[in-house]
Chains A and B, each alone.
Chain A
Amino acid sequence: SAVISQKPSRDICQRGTSLTIQCQVDSQVTMMFWYRQQPGQSLTLIATANQGSEATYESGFVIDKFPISRPNLTFSTLTVSNMSPEDSSIYLCSVVGGAETQYFGPGTRLLVL
């Protein structure tokens, strides 16, 4: 399986600021996704990060709030913009390689004060 790293691993931010989270994979992958996991809850898909084009967002998530980049097949970023305490969550990237299975990164733990 692919080795996935995320930066930062955790952060504490002030409301109104923005944070960019990086996801790096050790091999080229066909698909990359970003998920949110609110405290004590399950995972919800934010968007599919498309290489060379705009991300595909799920219902309830918009580009202005969660801009995503994917400049190549091994790297993607998610920005959480104009943060509020409700954005406090774990943000996870996942990848699909040769098979259908999705593998997840370690997550970025965000606390907004």
Chain B
Amino acid sequence: GESVGLHLPTLSVQEGDNSIINCAYSNSASDYFIWYKQESGKGPQFIIDIRSNMDKRQGQRVTVLLNKTVKHLSLQIAATQPGDSAVYFCAEMEEYGNKLVFGAGTILRVKS
């Protein structure tokens, strides 16, 4: 996994606005992608996943977009709430049961 030391990128949004968190992945052979949310003092929590044969998948208030051409993944959160404040990680997997490679993470801060 990649790391950026102690200075993770931070996204600050106003409560009620939409949030977009971006992730660039490295392996063109990756065929499965997951977004995780990690709150302070907790383990990563599964949010949504997408396979490489899709370019969009929607969940409850969240949407994941996949652009394989430029190896880019994004997580959109609609009507962001204070409870959405956390660190968000994307992760890629090359094949079933294989290891997850995590992106650096983005801190989301929601202002009330």
Tell me the bound Cα distance from A45 to B99 in angstroms. 7
B3 in complex: contacting residue of A4, A41, A45, A101, CB < 8 Å: A41
Find B93's partner among A44, A92, A100, A104 (CB 8 Å cutoff). Answer: A100
Binds A, one of B4-12, B14-22, B55-63, B68-76: B4-12
| Binding site secondary structure of chain B | loop
- Residues from chain B with a CB closer than 8 A to the CB of A100 are 32, 49, 93, 96-97
A42 pairs with B89, CB closer than 8 A: yes
- Number of chain A residues close to chain B: CB under 8 A: 27
Q: Are B43 and A105 in contact (CB under 8 A)?
A: yes
Contacts A44-B102, A101-B34, A102-B100 given; does A39 touch B44 at CB 8 Å: no
Nearest chain B CB to A20's CB is how many angstroms away? Answer: 19
Q: Is B104 interfacial (CB-CB < 8 Å)?
A: yes
- Using known A-B contacts A40-B8, A100-B32, determine if residue A45 contacts B46 with beta carbons closer than 8 Å: no
Q: Are A103 and B46 in contact (CB-based, < 8 A)?
A: yes
Asked if B1 lies at the interface with its beta carbon under 8 angstroms from chain A, I say yes
* Residues of the B chain whose Cβ atoms lie less than 8 Å from the Cβ of A41: 3-6, 104-105
Q: Which of B34, B42, B104 is the one whose CB lies under 8 Å from A42? A: B104
The smallest C-beta distance from A47 to any residue of chain B, in angstroms, reads 9
The residue on B at minimum CB distance from A96 is: B97
CB distance from B32 to the nearest CB of A (A): 6
Pair B3/A104 contact, Cβ less than 8 Å: no
